[in-house]
Structure 1
Amino acid sequence: MSSQKAVQTGYIVRLLYIALVALVAVHILGTVGYMWLTEHKYSWFDCFYMTFITVATIGFGEIIDMTSNEPARMFTVFIGILGAGNLSLLFSVVTVALLETDLNGNLRRKRMEKTIRKLKGHYILCGFGRVGRNISHELEATNRHFVSIDEDENKLLDYREKTPGFLYLHADASDDDVLLAAGIEDAKGVFAVTGDDSRNLMIVITARQLKPDVRIVARCQETRNIEKMRKAGADAIVSPNFTGGMRIASAMIRPHVVSFLDEMLKSEKNLRVEEIAIPAGFIPKPLGSLQLRSANYVLLAVRERNGSWQFNPATECLLKPGYTLIAMATPLGRQEIEAALIEMLG
């Protein structure tokens, strides 16, 4: 495909050169012709100017008197036809050249890169196959910003047609410069979910080196590679085969639970079981003092720093920095809880 495009580009460049040379030739021919037909009565510039206004069809008055000079009139007709055809060819070639260089695509790419540079607390999705697309649907449903990276541009372009605000980079996600361009320094997390375990391993290593504290979730096809992913720096490793097997078993032995979770995901309210971290600098307070009551969320549990859990926490449960609230919430509900915690900081 790239070689074919290179051939087309070369052909267009040759046509552009031909059109430009022909335009110059027409002006030279016209200038010399008028000089000869008027027997040198006019200057070279007058003859050139007469040729130019004839070719350009500007329509100014004739600066060369051709009242009784029929050969000069016929020559003007000839130059006009030749020049008009040459200009049409030139404009056509320039138009095709602009289309072939994908001017709109370049402008769109520049705007997208500028938008990516402004992102804070976003996610980087490395790999945009079936798993990557499902992750993107979940991130969109919960109002989270993300940047997708894949080497197959067709997958990215197909998704962009359905989602105009889609941000992506057509590149190799294991490259340092690519992850930096995706804003890893300000990112909240990285997904390494290509279909190749070795590629995912390289993405994990690269991301961990660029930002040691970023959370990394990796996809692993072969269970024997899970330990390698963990040693490379992945915070969580998911094996679709293992997870799929567990889901099938759950559908058999606990069908109502699975049905409830499915309905939650399909709900128009985008209900999810969310986690909200208690921020650093938060002054320890009982849960009841926050007055967390809303139709947009239900508090389920509190996870303490030592890993212990308090399910269905009581109002006297003391919240501290490093604790995590677990709630079933809509995207708006999650934002309400985050806003209440931030307000307590102020």
Structure 2
Amino acid sequence: MIHRAFQRIWTGIALFALTIIVAVIGYIALGWTFSDAVYMVVITIFGVGYGEVEPLDTTAERIFTIFVIVAGTSSVIYIVGGFVQMVTEGELNRAFDTQRKSRTIAKLNDHVIVCGFGRIGRVLAQQLDEAKQAFIVLDNNPERVAMAETRGYLVHTGSASDEACLQDVGIERAKFLATVLPDDATNVFITLTAHELNPELLILARGESITTEKKLRLAGADHVVLPSSVSGHRIANLITQPTALDVLAQNNERTALNELLTQIDLQMEELEVKKNSRLLGRTIGEVEVRAKGAFIVVALRQLDGETINRPGVSLSLNVGDVLVLLGHEGAIAKFAHRYQYQSELSYQGGPV
């Protein structure tokens, strides 16, 4: 519709320009000068009404002037009509889209509310879509909203911490709510608000810090997901299988694995213990304590080539040991810099 309106505007402009050219040439052909012809065309088409530049004595002059008035006025009206059509249809389309979306949301029942369309939110929405589970995405970021709409998801623009927005997406009829924002405080507030609006709602909340889990459960979360912990256990289980060691040894498989982990803001990397490292002689447990939840140790590759899966917390680090770490992107580099370990940070063929 909008395309047709633009086409109409450009057609009107072309007709208007053609009318002016033909009118000027016509008056010149009737014996007028170029300046008189242009002036006559302007005051005639725009209806200024200053009077004729020269007397219109002949029938041909009068008929031609009538043609100029009709053609010029019609082309202007056509152009204005195109603009009106463009504005009207654009507003109507937005109104119809809003009304359609409202009707769809009103029909939702036992659906899932996904609060936040970040990396985890996108993975979650994709899985729900593939499972044919009814869901709606709630986000206040225009770029993320546009991205969700492009993928064909039902989206509502607004803050998930706002009661009115939660009511707009049918929280009283929803079965699940998943708040997967990267900010713990916001997830706690959303959990608390959602639980008050619908005590029967099953709430799944994302937590960045282990200490947040208790707060989320007190706020009303039925399940708390700590991406680093969940993924750590999963990767550790994979490592205990023989095929998992092959995955860690092949660059193309490591890249694919990291791409998967990146979707949930995680990265698996190798960190070698150098002879001047401050971590030399420390235990695995001490390393994880100093990391403060930034990453976990899923494996240890010793200098002699032996790989220890899920190493014990009492195991000490020696020169040449390589730690296989799973944590948030950039967390290992920050940890290394903090403990004067940046210069000794090395990756075995790049990130694992």
Using structure 1 for the length normalisation, give the TM-score: 0.51
Q: CA 1:256–1:236 in structure 2 vs 1: closer, same or farther (change >3 Å)?
A: farther
Q: What are the Cα deviations for residues 157-192 of structure 1, in whole angstroms up to 9, with x where unaligned? A: 3343343xx211011111111111111111101101
- What secondary structure does 2:108 align onto? coil
Report the AA paired with residue 199 of structure 1. T
Of 179, 199, 202, the match for 2:189? 202
Within a 5 Å distance, the mapping from 1:135-154 to structure 2 comes to 135-154=124-143
- Partners of 2:162 and 2:96 in 1: CA distance: 24
Shift of 1:222: 1.6
Deviations 1:14-46 (A, max 9, x none): xxxxxxxxxxx9899499989xx99xxxxxxxx
Instruction: Show the 5 A alignment for 1:43-58.
Output: none
Q: Is residue 2:78 matched to residue 1:78?
A: no
Aligned with residue 145 of structure 2, among 149, 156, 161: 156
SS at match of 2:205: strand
**Residue in 2 aligned with 1:178?**
165
Quote the sequence identity (%). 28
2:65 aligns to what SS in structure 1?
A: helix
| Structure 2 contact 179–190 (Cα < 8 Å) conserved | yes
Cα distance in 2, alignment partners of residues 256 and 178 from structure 1:
47
Q: Which residue identity is paired with 1:148? A: V
Q: 1:81 to 1:141 in 2, by over 3 A?
A: closer
Deviations 1:248-273 (A, max 9, x none): 2111125689xxxxxxxxxxxxxxxx
2:230 paired with 1:243:
yes
Q: Is the 8 A contact 1:125 1:193 kept in 2?
A: yes
Q: CA deviation at 1:151?
A: 1.5
Q: What secondary structure does 1:144 align onto?
A: coil
Residue pair 2:44, 2:68 contacting (<8 A) in 1 also: no
Distance 1:92 1:255 in 2: 69
CA-based RMSD of the aligned residues comes to 3.2
Structure 1: distance between partners of 2:79 and 2:171: 48
In structure 2, C-alpha distance between the alignment counterparts of 1:103 and 1:179, rounded to whole Å: 26
Q: Secondary structure at the match of 1:186?
A: coil
Tell me which residue corresponds to 2:106: 117
Decide whether the 8 Å contact of 2:217 with 2:223 is kept in 1.
yes
Q: Distance in 2 between matches of 1:244 and 1:190?
A: 21
Q: Where in structure 1 are there 5+ consecutive unaligned residues?
A: 1-24, 39-65, 258-346
Shift of 1:243: 1.2
Q: 1:131 to 1:81 in 2, by over 3 A?
A: same
2-structure distance, mates of 1:246, 1:179: 33
The verdict on how the C-alpha distance between 1:172 and 1:88 changes in structure 2, with shifts beyond 3 A counting, is: same
Residue identity matched to 1:226: E
For structure 2, the 5+ residue unaligned runs are 1-42, 245-352
Partner of 1:231: 218
Distance in 2 of aligned mates of 1:254 and 1:120: 42
Normalising by structure 2, we get a TM-score of 0.50
Distance 2:242 2:207 in 1: 27
Indicate conservation of the 8 Å contact 2:111/2:175, yes or no.
Answer: yes
AA in 1 matched with 2:145? L
2:120 aligns to what?
131
Report the alpha carbon displacement of residue 77 of structure 1 after superposing the two structures with TM.
2.4
Q: In structure 2, do the counterparts of structure 1 residues 143 and 176 end up closer, same or farther at CA, with 3 Å as the change threshold?
A: same
Pairwise mapping of residues 294-333 of structure 1 onto structure 2 (< 5 A)?
A: none
CA–CA separation in structure 2 for the residues paired with 1:72 and 1:30: 17
Query: Aligned partner of 1:161: which letter?
Result: T
In structure 2, what is the equivalent of residue 213 of structure 1? 200
